[in-house]
Structure 1
Amino acid sequence: MTNRNIIQCEKCKAEVNLKKLPIEAKHIGEIRIQFFRCPRCHEKYLIDVTDKATREKQIEYAKLGNYQKQLIGSINKDNLEAIEKLTLRNNDKMEALLKEIKATKAELKEKYGCEL
């Protein structure tokens, strides 16, 4: 079985345990670029690029996920239909947000990924 937390550095071929590496961040205005470095050769690897609006959408997405858990936890035979409708509506909002987040992050990685 392969350990998903272990990667091989493309530059020096060292095995790198992702769980033990600090995540670094670089800011360009409201853009946050997150990355880690190979502990042996210090090659930088991009993790994520976000802007303020995307980070706000990620927070909203997490809140919707928590709301979803609360809805599911409060199901009983008397409110099943209402909870089902709310859950479906919530799912639609979450899917739309996730689609926006992914699209924006892809654009930002393309634009700012070379800023490492």
Structure 2
Amino acid sequence: MNKLYIGNLSENAVPSDLESIFKDAKIPVSGPFLVKTGYAFVDCPDESWALKAIEAFSGKVELHGKLIEVEHSVPKRQSFNTAENNFSSCRVVVWLGVSRLLLHLS
């Protein structure tokens, strides 16, 4: 897994801050830093570079007064309330309604 999650970022962190940290450590990235409030994502060229970044930075590098955390990015779990799940739930309710209706007609 080459995608990294960078957490515990200051709200003042910008992509150029992270670019500098990675450049100073000579750890390449294979795309832009996607920075949100408090966290960021970046891709490394391969797994070995991702592991080197985790080892070099996580809990060891301070940015704007906060120690950053670096780890493999884990896909967000799918929410139960997706359109597909809502559709399935509706279908079950309809079938239950039909079953009840058939029971009342018998």
Task: State if a TM-score over 0.5 links the two structures.
Answer: no
In the superposition, the TM-score normalised over structure 2's length comes to 0.29
Structure number with larger C-alpha Rg: 2
Structure 1 or 2: more helix by fraction = 1
In the superposition, the TM-score normalised over structure 1's length comes to 0.27
Which has the bigger relative contact order, CA under 8 A and spacing at least 6?
2
